Each structure stands twice: as structure tokens, then as C-alpha cells.
Amino acid sequence: MDSVKGIHGFTVKTINGQDFDLAQLEGKKVLVVNVASECGLTPQYEQLEELYSATNREEFEIIGVPANNFGGQEPGTNEEIASFCNSNFGTTFPMMAKISVTGNDQHELYQYLTKHSLNGVADIEMVWNFQKILVDENGQLVKTVHPKTLPIDDEIVNWING
């Protein structure tokens, strides 16, 4: 992994099993968020979709990453997760296949995002579902935003528009 490329050096699987080359996000700010269907914070899907609808696709992208690392709150299959998101929240932002965002089986994308030795910016502790990680146009980590902070919070909106 070339840290100069940041997240743009990764290819991940979409929730439908297709390859998603993060290099296609070059030039865009990205909010990467680990999501779960059975969490008290699950209603944040609504604000994620609101933010997604209100922003320019040429400048900003949201990547939803289902994970079952916290409280067993994402037990479903990729198909069940996709169905849940579509029927309950009408999500249109890209959803990735379920992965592990922490622990011994942590996905390589999250290893990069959370380890200073890889990202060159900070060590980040993944604390719960709906933790937001902000990545700049060059694919580099900017910062993390607490899970309870809504996606439409000024902290995030001002960063996108800044």
C-alpha cells in the first residue's frame, strides 16, 4: 500500500459484490462511515442520505461500510443489509460489502485509516457504529468524527464546503 495514494490505492467490494476502485474518488472529499442496521444510531442513515442528496457528486462522496464489530448490531448478509437500507431509508450513496473495521480481522482499508504508521496522520480508535472518517481530495485522512455527531452537523458540512 502506497500511503501517498491514501485510500485511492484500495479496491473494495460493493454490497452487490462488484469491485469498487477508490481511485475513482480522486479529487473528491469522502466521508467513510461504518454502519449497522440494529444500532440506536441507525436513524443516521436518514441524515447521511440528506447530506448525500444536498452535495455535489463531483466534489463529495459518502461510502457506507457495514460492520458487525460493535454489539453484534449488523448480523445480516450483504443482501439483507442492502434491502434494509433501500426499504427503510432509500439510500443512494455507495454501500460496500460488510467487513471488519477493528480487531484482528480488520480490513486493510480500515488498517490504513486507523493506523498512524500507515496513514501518516493519526491513530484512530474505532469506538462504535456510525463513526465518520473524513478523507480529503487526495485520499488522505483528515480526521474522525464521533458516532453520535449527526452527518448533517456543521462540523461535517463546513468541512465539505470549506
Active-site positions read 39
Q: Could you give the CA distance from residue 6 to residue 153 in angstroms, rounded to a whole number?
A: 25
Distances (CA, A) of 45 to 11, 116, 120, 145, 150: 24, 29, 30, 15, 10
φ, ψ for residue 7 (rounded to 5)?
-65, -20
Strands, E, within the chain: which ranges? Answer: 11-13, 19-21, 29-35, 60-66, 132-135, 141-145
